[in-house]
Amino acid sequence: MFNVVLIKGDGIGPEISDAVVEIFESAKVPIEWVERQAGLNAIDKNPTGIPEETLEAVEKYKVALKGPTTTPVGIGHKSVNVTLRKTLELYANVRPAKSLPGVRTRFDNVDLIIVRENIEDTYGGIEHHQTASVAQGLKLITRPGSIRIAKYAFEMAKLYGRKKVLAVHKANIHKITDGLFLKCFYEVAQDYPEMQVGDLIVDNACMQLVTNPERFDVMVLPNLYGDIVSDLCAGLVGGLGVAPGGNIGDHCAIFESVHGSAPDIAGQGIANPMALLLSSFQMLQHIGLQKTKTRIENALLETLRDGIKTRDLGGKANTKEFTKAIIERLVPMEIDELIEPSPLRIKSELLPTYKPVEEYCHGVDIFVEYPGGIPKVPETVGNLKLKMISNRGTKIYPGPMPKIWLVDHHRCRYVARDETGNYKNIGDNEIFDLIREVSAYGIKWVHIEKLQLFDGELGYSKAQGE
């Protein structure tokens, strides 16, 4: 028997959760539910919408199935999902998109899995106003995070008999951040010689997905592209009503449908439980109950082939009728309901994520606020020489002034070189001197970034040095 935490959520959550519980009971799935609350109906226990006992149960039992929870707009608690994801370090968001019989779409043979990195990228929410008219968000891509998600994607692909793993990125533009993601992907790929590997730029991937989605198998993406592309893929196979997902970490995993709490239809008994049921299939696979999963999946596919669907998919069945139809199509269980394949557990602490490297700081970008054209900053301070000034990434000094709009936020790049023209290492005091000197010129500095070289190991590209 497996203990699984059941969080029914709010809105249509309880209706669709009850449908899954009923199907599991009829299928005699060896799972004992441990019910806990989250969302609107748990606010009296904890203003975050996540009572301590819910968190403790997920940590203790390691696997949870969760119905949708409402996030109040503008007021109240943060998204329960985001909080759970971050608190429990659920780093992999796994979203399969598979064509289903009777669900009308433009394509018939889509069967792909999106593996989205779930913690990093711009989702750290590290954002600042730089000037009154310029805001900045930091996109953080890390080597451990990228190795871990690539490893997860390959391990999952191997375990589920997939053939091809594709990294999706924008490393042609984000050379350092996405470049690092891609570098880590190919590093991990070396351990899976049996797998076909490749990479695609995200815009090209989107175009190919909407024209020829059948050619895709497993895709691994940084957080933001993963968020967008996974919804695109949900659209390819019939929309949110059939889109499942799992948020998976080293220690625990939460499976839930992609759609929300659908307050417009809550309590009417017409919600489609399919996305939560598909999420429960992912959960069964995760804990190793592959045969049980296939048996219930076959009953669902039979139901759909027989034209029984809920209203959101153009059918007439309500939640209970649809659930009953699936139960009626369950074939009797075989005695040897074997546990296979082995559960998918990837321990990131075992992964070789850090490499000792030598670090060099050879310069600094100092960002300044200056509303009146090119800021008049010093040309030289100690070893540091002004190399260029850019505005929104376009060089405006030295050389001809491009015909661009100037905002009041400039990046002034200073680098240090030795007599032979090679980069020279600098210390913090030289940077402090530079900041003081810029201030003395009457220019307001906003922030600085060190220009660092890591022995060529960590995704350094010319873009940073130039």
Binding mask 369-398 for ligand NAI (x = CB under 6 A): ------------------------------
Q: Which residues contact 172 (CB under 8 A, 6 or more apart)?
A: 201
Q: Indicate the residue among 68 and 213 with the shorter CB distance to ligand NAI.
A: 68
By CB under 6 A, is residue 69 in contact with ligand NAI?
A: yes
Helix (H) or strand (E) segment spanning residue 209: helix 202-211
Q: Indicate the residue among 311 and 395 with the shorter CB distance to ligand NAI.
A: 311
By CB under 6 A, is residue 271 in contact with ligand NAI?
A: yes
DSSP state of 345: -
Shortest reach from residue 410's CB to ligand NAI, in Å: 39
Binding mask 203-242 for ligand NAI (x = CB under 6 A): -------------------------------------xx-
Structure tokens at 105: 């779409």
Query: Which residue of 146, 261, 285, 292 would you call a contact of ligand NAI, by CB under 6 A?
Result: 261
By CB under 6 A, is residue 68 in contact with ligand NAI?
A: yes
Give the count of beta carbons closer than 10 Å to the beta carbon of residue 187.
Answer: 15
By CB under 6 A, is residue 304 in contact with ligand NAI?
A: no
Report helix, strand or coil for 3. Answer: strand
Shortest reach from residue 255's CB to ligand NAI, in Å: 11
% helix, strand, coil for the chain, step of 5: 35, 25, 40
Shortest reach from residue 263's CB to ligand NAI, in Å: 6
Q: Where are the alpha helices (DSSP H) in 94-142?
A: none
Shortest reach from residue 329's CB to ligand NAI, in Å: 20
Q: Indicate the residue among 84 and 416 with the shorter CB distance to ligand NAI.
A: 84
By CB under 6 A, is residue 71 in contact with ligand NAI?
A: yes
Shortest reach from residue 259's CB to ligand NAI, in Å: 3
Q: Indicate the residue among 80 and 377 with the shorter CB distance to ligand NAI.
A: 80
Q: Are strands 384-391 and 409-416 parallel, antiparallel or unpaired?
A: antiparallel
Peptide bond into 101 cis (omega under 30): no
Q: Indicate the residue among 142 and 272 with the shorter CB distance to ligand NAI.
A: 272
Could you list the beta-strand ranges (E) of 319-438: 360-369, 380-381, 384-391, 394-397, 409-416
Query: Which residue of 8, 85, 259, 362 would you call a contact of ligand NAI, by CB under 6 A?
Result: 259
Full DSSP string of 19-84: HHHHHHHHTT-SEEEEEE--SGGGTTT-TTS--HHHHHHHHHH-EEEE------SSSSSPPHHHHH
By CB under 6 A, is residue 256 in contact with ligand NAI?
A: yes
Shortest reach from residue 296's CB to ligand NAI, in Å: 18
By CB under 6 A, is residue 265 in contact with ligand NAI?
A: yes
By CB under 6 A, is residue 260 in contact with ligand NAI?
A: yes
- 248-272 residues labelled b (16+ CB within 10 A) or e (exposed): bbbebbbbbbbbbbbeebbeeebbb
Phi and psi for 248 in degrees, rounded to 5?
-125, 135
Structure tokens at 229: 């592309």
Residues of this chain that interact with ligand NAI (CB under 6 A) are 12, 16, 68-71, 81, 240-241, 256, 259-265, 271-272, 275, 312
